[in-house]
C-alpha cells in the first residue's frame, strides 16, 4: 500500500497590514481628523483674538468695513485718529465725506468706504438708538455691511456664532486642509458650518487667520514649522514629516 503523502496545510494568507490611522486613511472630513485639527489649533493659538484694534462694537464695525481689500495693520494705523475725531455713531453721522475720505484714504477704496461708514452711522442713530444692532438681519441692513462683516461683529463683540468668517486666510487654508472645496467664500463658509461644532465657529476663524499670517502663507507655507502638517495632504506643501 503506497504511503500517503502528508497533507500540507494551506499557507496562511497574509493579512494586509491595517493602514495607519492618519490623514490619508481617515478621509478629510472624518470627525477624528477634524477634532485633531481643532486640538492642534488650540495648542498653537490658545488665545487668538480679532486683530482689529477696537474698544466697542461700533469701532469694530467701522474697522471691519475699512479692512476690505486692506490689511488689518493698515486699518489699525488709521482708526485711532478717525475715532478720536468721530468717536460715536452720532459724531460720525455728522462728518462730511471729504473729512472721512482724508482720514481713511490709505485703506483703499476710500470713497466707497467713507460713504459706507457715514451711512452706517446715520442708520444706527436713526433706527437703532445709536447702538450697534445685535442681530444678523439688522446688521446686514446697514450700508457697507455684508454677512462677513456682520459675523465678525456678532462673534467678537456679542459672542454670537451666526457664521464662520471666511477671509482670504480661512478660504485658502480650509481648502488646503481639505475641509472645503467651494470656489467662493460663501460656499466655503457653508461647508465649514456643516462640519465644525457651532461652539468653534468664532475661535476657528481667529486661529486660522493667525495661522495664515504666521505659518501657512499663500506662496510658500512654512510646513516645517506647522503643527498641522501631519494632518495636511495639500499638494503645495513645502515639507513632509
CA angle 30, 32, 34 (to 5 degrees): 70
Q: Find the DSSP H helices in the chain.
A: 23-26, 31-44, 57-66, 72-85, 89-93, 97-104, 110-127, 136-139, 147-158, 168-176, 185-195, 201-214
CB atoms within 10 A of CB 174: 25
Residues 149/127, Cβ–Cβ less than 8 Å: no
Integer Cα distance of 224 and 72 in angstroms: 26
Q: Of residues 167, 220, 235, 236, which has the active-site annotation?
A: 167
Integer Cα distance of 105 and 43 in angstroms: 38
Residue 39: active-site member:
no
Q: Of residues 148, 222, 224, 236, which has the active-site annotation?
A: 148
Residue 32: active-site member:
no
DSSP state of 29: T
Residues 62/78, Cβ–Cβ less than 8 Å: no
Q: Which residue, among 4, 152, 12, has the nearest Cα to 75 in the 3D structure?
A: 152
Integer Cα distance of 104 and 127 in angstroms: 25
Q: Which residue, among 222, 216, 203, has the nearest Cα to 42 in the 3D structure?
A: 203
Integer Cα distance of 66 and 177 in angstroms: 29
**Strand intervals (E) in the chain:** none
What amino acid positions are annotated as catalytic residues? 148, 167
Amino acid at each position: 500500500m503506497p504511503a500517503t503523502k502528508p497533507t500540507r496545510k494551506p499557507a496562511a494568507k497574509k493579512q494586509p497590514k491595517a493602514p495607519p490611522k492618519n490623514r490619508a486613511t481617515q478621509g478629510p472630513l472624518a470627525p477624528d481628523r477634524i477634532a485633531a485639527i481643532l486640538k492642534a489649533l488650540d495648542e498653537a493659538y490658545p488665545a487668538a483674538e480679532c486683530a482689529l484694534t477696537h474698544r466697542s462694537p461700533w469701532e469694530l464695525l467701522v474697522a471691519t468695513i475699512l479692512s476690505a481689500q486692506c490689511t488689518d495693520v493698515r486699518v489699525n494705523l488709521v482708526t485711532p485718529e478717525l475715532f478720536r475725531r468721530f468717536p460715536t455713531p452720532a459724531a460720525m453721522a455728522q462728518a462730511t465725506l471729504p473729512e472721512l475720505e482724508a482720514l481713511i484714504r490709505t485703506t483703499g477704496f476710500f470713497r466707497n468706504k467713507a460713504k459706507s461708514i457715514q451711512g452706517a452711522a446715520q442708520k444706527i442713530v436713526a433706527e437703532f438708538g445709536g447702538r450697534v444692532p445685535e442681530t444678523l438681519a439688522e446688521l446686514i441692513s446697514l450700508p457697507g455691511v455684508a454677512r462677513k462683516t456682520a459675523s465678525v461683529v456678532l462673534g467678537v463683540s456679542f459672542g454670537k456664532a451666526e457664521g464662520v468668517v471666511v477671509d482670504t486666510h480661512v478660504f485658502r487654508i480650509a481648502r488646503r486642509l481639505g475641509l472645503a472645496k467651494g470656489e467662493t467664500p460663501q460656499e466655503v463658509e457653508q461647508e465649514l458650518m456643516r462640519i465644525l461644532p457651532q461652539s468653534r465657529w468664532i475661535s476657528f476663524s481667529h486661529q486660522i487667520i493667525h495661522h495664515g499670517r504666521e505659518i501657512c502663507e499663500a506662496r510658500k507655507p512654512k510646513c516645517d514649522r506647522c503643527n498641522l502638517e501631519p494632518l495636511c495632504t495639500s499638494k503645495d506643501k513645502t515639507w513632509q514629516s
